[in-house]
Homo-oligomer: A and B are copies of this chain.
Amino acid sequence: MPTPRTTAQRTALLDVIGARRGAFSALDLFDAVRERAPRLGLATVYRTLDRLEQDGVLRRLGGSAGSADRFVVCDPSHHHHHLICTGCGSVEETELCAAPPEGELKRRHGFVATSHQADVYGLCRSCAA
What class of interface size applies to chain A in its complex with B? 35 or more
Contacts of A122 in B (CB 8 A): 105, 111-115
Contacts of A94 in B (CB 8 A): 100, 105, 108-109, 111
Whether A109 pairs with B86 at a CB distance below 8 angstroms is no
Contacts of A86 in B (CB 8 A): 114
A16 on interface, CB distance cutoff 8 Å: no
A101 on interface, CB distance cutoff 8 Å: yes
Q: Mark A65-99, 1 if CB is under 8 A from B, else 0.
A: 11111000000000001010110000010101111
The interface of chain A, by Cβ under 8 A from chain B, is 60, 62-69, 81, 83, 85-86, 92, 94, 96-101, 104-105, 108-125, 128
